[in-house]
Structure 1
Amino acid sequence: MRRFWISVVFAIGSLWAGMVQADVTMAIPNVTGDPAADIRFRVVYPDGWEPVPTAEKGVVLALGRGDANLSEMLMLRVEKMTEEEAAWVFAEKGGMTPEARLSLAQRVIGVAREVKVLSLEDIRIAGQPAVLITMEEQVKNAAGTFFHKEMIQVVWAWGRKITQNYLVTGQVENRVAVVKRFARGERDDPGTFMGSLHFLNKARMEKAAP
């Protein structure tokens, strides 16, 4: 069975105040164990955020910061994704109206939890198909009732799904503060992280793609 490996080099240099860049190399080894095709990309992330432990699949980077009332989290995941799976996520060939796709996303994402999908936008990142989703969620657990607002950016690149998340959460009574912090984050370092994905060996990957 083919398995993914990921090599990450963090903090290779400061870009500008408060931001650090990370280079990521990902490969699918062939049957001999040698890399058959690798994908290299770069992201920047805020300096000073703390690593966050997570058990989610394919996580390369998970960072957080917070205070007594609100917490923020940034996450980067890389996973395998087939063309058939991508067809459910990206509207490369059209056929569905934006309204229909938004409705579909609401049904799919909200299957296991109460999620309100606010927007779904088809975009391109470095020439690759991508989708940008914003949503809100209210979660009740033993610690109380919490309100989340989240931005999810999914890029499909040569058989890989690269997902970047920005999440703000707080007690439900702090809902207004969560929304304000999220809006500020979009314009600040988290927004820079979400918009920083850059492929380093795009030309070679395009040549190698079947």
Structure 2
Amino acid sequence: MIRDEFTVIAGRALRLHQGAESLEVRGVRPSPVGPIVDWKAPLLSPDRQRRPLPGGGHVLGAPAGPDLLAVLVRYQACRWRHGPPHAPSTWAEDLARAHPKIFPFPPASHAGWSWLWEAGAELITEHGIPRGFKTVDTKEKFGSLRWYTEAKGDDRHADNVISCIDHISNFVCEYCGAPGLLRRGSWVKCMCDAHAQGRKPFREGEA
């Protein structure tokens, strides 16, 4: 199950990344932080995507493939850490208590993204919380997770982790954490087939 979820989410998240077809999941092993998915992708580009602009120049696109996979590995570890995934009703308050330097208030989303918030907090903490780091807002917008922060010190690592989480959230059901897709409706939401209740996903390039 862990391997299957990882493969589906990774395939969708890396859809436009050069060398994504070389991704191979080698197995799942236990670790102190939860089950770790081992993977290799020898042809996956290590560079962040850049989208050309019509008049010249470019804008930054999705984070680098290896960075996305590293964050996805931790997401899966958080999600399956205590057995079959279950987020208690107090997950947001629990997360704010566990990581007060990351979340001065409980993050705002449905429970399926709880493990994305948790993975981000853990990865930022393990690398070293930047000086003056502060979360200023958390929410869902246009079907994606939004995490706004500010810092006085070097926050490049934290910013990259958050960018990866934002991107991955497009492929994770906000309600349960299973693989999902952005769905049509009055409000765009990322949902799995079970929670979509018949709402159709956007076609490639629409959302």
TM-score (ref. length: structure 2): 0.33
- After TM superposition, the score normalised by the length of structure 1 is 0.33
Bigger proportion of residues as helix: 2
Higher relative contact order (CA 8 A, sep 6+): 1
**Greater percentage in strand:** 1
Larger radius of gyration: 1
